Structure 1
Amino acid sequence: MRAAIRAVAFDLDGTLVDSVADLMHASNALLAELGRPPVDLPSVRSFVGDGAAKLVERVLAATGGVPAPDEAARCVERFLEIYEADPSANSVLYPGVAETLEALAAAGLRLGVCTNKPMAATLRLLDDLGIAGRFAAVVGGDSYPTRKPSPEPVLGLLDRLGVRPEETVFVGDNEHDVAAARAAGVARVLVVPYGYTRVPLESLPHDGVLDRFADLTGRLSC
């Protein structure tokens, strides 16, 4: 007999929040300081999903090359200073997110966020967009030694939520979300079609696509 669903875990960027404009602005502020040309929105969208260090590496590679490790580390540090100062100026919740989270919380489900974004920026973004209070636990890209696609942060989140994998549905937008959730052994993995994935959704071993975020409430009961 299948366990009842007690929790829903969410990715952040590309799932709950469209944040790519703020990531682009922070990237271009860094590039301007370095005397490099800016990157555009489609490029940054394709760079998102592996944490800040990888985003900066891809931005640098696209605008003249990645510098030596020490300089690259300084670029990541500076990017985070810029981005974390205001990570929500141009970021918005996707349609239906606020209402759906409210409905899920009212139904007694435990809600959590598992993202590769650094924790400080994650907490600030959730708070600025008015949904921080919906989540019983949040883990970021610097919460554990590994990030998605490793299952470690997903399992860490579930431990903080006090639920088992077989009692959890994971909702994400890209290949790392699906891989991490599958490896963690969650009951179901659902994906949204509007996010930042770099591969076709049909190629991923998910359990269904949410055409609208609001469709999630109905999918949890089937």
Structure 2
Amino acid sequence: MTRALIVVDVQESFRARPLWETISDPRIADRVDRLVRLARRAGDLVVWVLHSEPGSGDVFDPALGQVRVLEELRCEDGEPLIHKSSHNAFTTTNLQQLLTERGVRELTVCGIRTEQCVETTTRVASDLGYSVTLVIDATATNPIPHRDAPADRSVAELLADPRTLGTEEIIRRTEYALAGRFATITTVDELEAAAASGA
């Protein structure tokens, strides 16, 4: 086993926030599930990563019950489930040790949010020497407000602001920033086609 699929923050915490209605792909679990099934069939390790902020009192506080994988997805026995408190999946976890112990050198990354925890995990993994593939259409994100926008605005106000960065642009920027530098960029369809052809 030299490959692993890292599923980053595909968790109910995001669905519990008002911003979920603006998510770039509300059916993100479907694409992630396709990747998980592909990895399992290939005998690759599947690692589930959840963002956790104990004591925060918000949707990322495990005490409130939202820090769990989206209900459409299932972790199987033997698949590591780790909790992080940083933007990347390595710094505050034992992920690198886990991968090293299993001889993993190639990572496939997917999850929520494209430009935040997914991109940061991809960059750190590359810097650590892993060969990384980012499955861009198995990531999702929300619009980002301008730095000068008030923090307490409603979703409608966020979307009405012309300075808000839209999800399509965020995902495109991430793809351009990572491709050829930190990761190979691909899609779920492309990975499934390669598996079917034995590539």
Length-normalised TM-score, structure 1: 0.50
Task: Name the counterpart of 1:209.
Answer: 185
In structure 2, how many angstroms separate the alpha carbons of the residues matched to 1:114 and 1:208?
21
Q: CA deviation at 1:169?
A: 0.9
Q: Which runs of 5+ in 1 are unaligned?
A: 25-38, 47-90
Q: Which amino acid aligns with 1:180?
A: V
- Which is worse superposed, 196-205 or 115-124? 115-124
Q: What does residue 67 of structure 1 align with? A: none
Equivalent positions of 1:19-98 (< 5 A) are 20-24=14-18, 41-42=21-22, 92-98=27-33
Q: Of Structure 1 and Structure 2, which has the larger fraction of its residues in strand?
A: 2
**Residue of structure 2 equivalent to 1:101:** 36
Aligned-pair CA distance for 1:40: 8.2
Q: 2:140 aligns with which of 195, 216, 220?
A: 195
Long gaps (5+) in structure 2: 53-59, 142-166
Judged with a 3 Å threshold, the aligned counterparts in structure 2 of structure 1 residues 178 and 114 are, in CA distance, closer, same or farther, namely same
**Alignment of 1:159 onto 2:97:** yes
Counterpart selection for 2:51 from 113, 116, 119: 116
Partners of 1:185 and 1:153 in 2: CA distance? 18
User: How many residue pairs end up in the alignment?
Assistant: 148
- Judge conservation of contact 2:136–2:185 (CA < 8 Å) in 1: yes
For residues 218 and 108 of structure 1, do their structure 2 counterparts lie closer, same or farther at Cα, with a shift above 3 Å needed? same
1:169 aligns with 107
TM-score, normalising length: structure 2: 0.54
Would you tell me which structure has more helix in proportion to its own residues? 1
Give the match's secondary structure for 2:2: coil
Q: CA deviation at 1:148?
A: 2.9
Instruction: Kindly provide the CA deviation profile for residues 153-209 of structure 1, in whole angstroms up to 9, marking residues without a partner as x.
Output: 57x22433532452x313133332322222332122314145227460202234333
What is the alpha-carbon root mean square deviation over aligned residues? 3.8
Over 3 Å counting, the alpha-carbon distance change for 1:95 and 1:109 in structure 2 is same
User: CA separation in 2, counterparts of 1:20 and 1:185?
Assistant: 30
